[in-house]
C-alpha cells in the first residue's frame, strides 16, 4: 500500500492532505500521507458514538455550494445533500422573549447595513485595519450583528481580524448539510489512499534536493512535501523545520492564528426539552456590555439533538474544561428556553479543538495588516519541494473545507 520511494510526502490527512493525495494519484505521482492522529479528516470529523446520533464536531456545512469542490464529489458518491437555508426556521431571542416579526426585520436590515459598511470600507484600497473599525455602531442591533459575524461565525472578534481578509473571505449560500456530516463525506473521500495513521511528524528536513520527515515512525524521504498542519500547530513549533522556514513564511504563519468555535451537543429526547423544530436556528441578542451569547441549531434531519455554538474569546476561556462548557451551555438554554426545558436536555458532548495538540484551534483568520498572509503561506519553497496547504492558505474560501480542498489540489499541481 505504501510506496517505498514516494514522489511526495504529505503531512496530515485532513481535507487538504486528502485532496492533494487524490490529485497526485490522478497525475500518476506516488505519495504517502503521514497522519499524526488515529483517524482521517482533520477538522472535518463526524461520529455517532458519543450521543448515538451523527454529530459533526468540526466543519458542518458545504458553504457556497455552487462553487464548493466537495459538492459534486458528494453527489458522485450518491450522498443526500439538503439546503439548510431553505429548511431553516431562523429565530431571534431578545429582551427576554422571542423577537417579533418587526424586530427580526430590523435585525436583518442591520445585517445588510453591516455588510454594506464592511464592503465599502474594504474597497477603499487603503491601509488594512481591524474589521471592527468598519462595523456600524450605536444601533439597537449592531452589537449583536458584530458578535454574530465575528465570534460566532469567524471564531474570533472583529477587532482581531483584518478588514480586507474578512471581506475577501465572506461566504454566501447555499449552505448544504449531509445526513452523516461533512466529516463523514471527507472520510469517504479518503478511502483507498496511502494514509499512515499514528505517524506524527516531529521534524522535516527540506531543500532543493528533496525532503525527509522524521518522527516515532522513523524517517521517510521523498522528492517533495506538502504540509497541511494547522497554523496553530505550526506557530507552536509542532513541526521543526531544518533549515528554519524563511522569514516571510514564518511571519505568515503567525499572522494567521486559529480562532475557536466550541460546540456543545445535547440529546433532546425528553418531551420537556426545548421546542425548536427540526433545522431551526436561534440567536440570542447581546443584552449589554460584556454579554457574549451562544447560538443554537436544532434537530437536523429530525434527530433529537440540539447544538450550542460558542466562539471567540468566550470559547477560549472555557478551553480544556468540558464540564464548564456544558454548564454554560445549559445556563444559556435556561435563559432562552426556560429552566424546565434546559433541565430536560440529556447527555452532552463537547468539542475539544483547542486542547488537541494536532489542531490547537478551529480555523484561521488574518490579523489586521496581514491581508496578504494567505498567499505568502501558500507560496512554494525550494523550487517547489516544500508546499503548505490547508484552509489558512486559501485567499477566498479560508476557514472552510472548500478552501482546504482547493489549496491541497493547488499544492499537488505545483510539485515539480
Give percent of the chain with pLDDT exceeding 70: 100
Q: What secondary structure does DSSP assign to 322-350, as a single string?
A: HHHHHHHHHHHHHHHH-HHHHHT---EEE
User: Which tens digits make up the pLDDT trace of 10-64?
Assistant: 999 999 999 999 999 999 999 999 999 999 999 999 999 999 999 999 999 999 9
pLDDT at 403: 98
pLDDT of residue 4: 77
Residue 86 included in any domain: no
- The answer to whether position 2 is within a domain reads no
For residue 42, give every residue at least 6 positions away whose Cβ sits within 8 Å of its Cβ, in sequence order, or none.
12, 13, 14, 15, 16, 17, 58, 186, 228, 230, 359, 404
SS3 214: strand
- Domain with 118, as residue range(s), is 91-170+261-350
User: Which long-range contacts (C-beta less than 8 Å, at least 24 apart) are formed by 139-144?
Assistant: 139/110, 139/113, 140/106, 140/110, 141/106, 141/107, 141/110, 141/285, 142/110, 142/114, 143/286, 144/94, 144/107, 144/110, 144/283, 144/285, 144/286, 144/293
Give how many domains the chain has, as a whole number: 2
With a cut of 70, say whether residue 1 has pLDDT above it: no
Question: Which of 295, 317, 350 lies at the terminal end of a domain, its last residue?
Answer: 350
Residue 124's pLDDT is 84
| 26 CB-near residues (< 8 Å, 6+ apart) | none
Distance between CA 259 and CA 156 in Å, rounded?
5
Q: What is the pLDDT of residue 126?
A: 81
Q: Do residues 268 and 341 both lie within one domain?
A: yes
**DSSP secondary-structure letter at 112?**
H
Measured distance CA(53)–CA(61) in Å, rounded: 17
pLDDT tens by residue, 90-109: 999 999 999 999 999 999 99
Decide if pLDDT at 3 tops 90: no
Give yes or no: residues 202 and 318 share one domain. Answer: no
CA nearest 60: which of 292, 276, 227, 305?
305
- Mean pLDDT, rounded, for 310-338: 98
Residues 339 and 277 both lie in one domain: yes
Average pLDDT, integer, range 240-264:
98
Q: Is the per-residue pLDDT at 89 higher than 80?
A: yes
Percentage above 90 pLDDT, the chain:
98
Give the model's confidence band at 304: pLDDT under 50 very low, under 70 low, under 90 confident, else very high.
very high
- Evaluate whether 226 touches 216 at the Cβ level (below 8 Å): no
Q: What is the pLDDT of residue 344?
A: 98
Region 58-74: mean pLDDT is: 98
Residues 165 and 270 in one domain: yes
Question: How far apart, in Å, do the first and last CA atoms of the chain sit?
Answer: 23
- Specify if 381 maps to a domain: yes
Phi–psi pair at 274, nearest 5 degrees: -50, 140
For cell 470600507, the residue is: 121
Residue 292 has, within 13 A of its CA and on its CB side, a CA count of: 20
Judge whether 119 lies within some domain. yes
Q: For all residues of the chain together, what is the average pLDDT?
A: 97
Instruction: Specify the higher pLDDT residue, 136 or 124.
Output: 136
Of the three residues 312, 328, 350, the one that is the final residue of a domain is: 350
Amino acid at each position: 500500500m505504501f510506496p517505498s520511494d514516494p514522489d511526495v510526502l504529505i503531512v496530515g490527512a485532513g481535507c487538504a492532505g486528502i485532496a492533494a493525495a487524490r490529485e497526485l494519484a490522478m497525475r500518476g505521482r506516488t505519495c504517502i500521507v503521514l497522519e499524526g492522529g488515529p483517524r482521517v479528516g482533520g477538522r472535518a470529523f463526524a461520529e455517532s458514538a458519543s450521543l448515538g446520533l451523527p454529530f459533526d464536531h468540526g466543519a458542518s456545512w458545504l458553504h457556497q455550494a455552487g462553487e464548493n469542490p466537495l459538492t459534486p464529489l458528494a453527489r458522485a458518491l450518491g450522498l443526500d445533500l439538503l439546503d439548510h437555508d431553505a429548511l431553516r426556521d431562523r429565530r431571534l431571542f431578545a429582551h427576554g422573549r422571542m423577537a417579533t416579526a418587526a424586530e427580526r426585520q430590523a435585525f436583518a436590515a442591520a445585517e445588510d447595513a453591516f455588510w454594506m459598511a464592511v464592503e465599502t470600507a474594504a474597497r477603499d484600497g487603503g491601509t488594512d485595519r481591524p474589521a471592527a473599525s468598519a462595523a456600524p455602531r450605536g444601533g439597537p442591533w449592531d452589537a449583536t450583528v458584530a458578535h454574530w459575524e465575528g465570534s460566532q461565525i469567524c471564531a474570533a472578534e472583529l477587532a482581531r481580524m483584518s478588514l480586507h481578509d474578512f471581506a475577501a473571505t465572506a461566504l454566501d449560500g447555499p449552505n448544504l448539510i449531509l445526513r452523516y456530516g461533512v466529516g463523514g463525506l471527507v472520510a469517504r473521500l479518503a478511502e483507498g489512499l496511502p494514509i499512515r495513521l499514528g505517524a506524527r511528524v516531529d521534524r522535516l528536513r527540506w531543500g532543493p534536493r528533496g525532503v525527509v520527515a522524521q518522527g516515532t515512525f522513523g524517517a521517510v524521504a521523498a522528492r517533495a512535501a506538502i504540509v497541511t498542519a494547522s497554523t496553530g500547530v505550526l506557530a507552536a513549533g509542532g513541526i521543526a523545520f531544518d533549515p528554519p522556514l524563511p522569514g516571510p513564511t514564518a511571519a505568515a504563519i503567525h499572522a494567521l492564528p486559529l480562532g475557536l468555535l466550541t460546540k456543545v451537543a445535547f440529546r433532546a429526547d425528553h418531551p420537556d426539552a426545548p421546542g425548536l423544530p427540526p433545522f431551526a436556528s436561534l440567536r440570542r441578542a447581546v443584552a449589554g456590555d460584556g454579554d457574549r451569547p451562544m447560538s443554537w441549531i436544532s434537530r437536523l434531519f429530525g434527530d433529537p439533538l440540539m447544538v450550542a455554538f460558542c466562539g471567540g474569546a468566550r470559547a477560549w476561556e472555557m478551553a480544556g474544561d468540558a464540564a464548564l462548557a456544558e454548564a454554560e451551555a445549559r445556563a444559556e438554554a435556561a435563559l432562552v428556553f426556560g429552566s424546565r426545558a434546559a433541565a430536560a436536555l440529556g447527555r452532552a458532548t463537547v468539542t475539544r479543538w483547542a486542547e488537541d495538540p494536532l489542531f490547537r484551534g478551529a480555523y484561521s483568520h488574518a490579523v489586521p495588516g496581514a491581508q496578504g498572509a494567505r498567499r505568502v503561506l501558500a507560496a512554494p519553497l525550494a523550487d517547489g519541494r516544500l508546499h503548505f496547504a490547508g484552509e489558512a492558505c486559501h485567499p477566498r474560501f479560508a476557514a472552510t473545507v472548500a478552501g482546504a480542498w482547493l489549496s491541497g489540489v493547488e499544492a499537488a499541481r505545483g510539485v515539480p
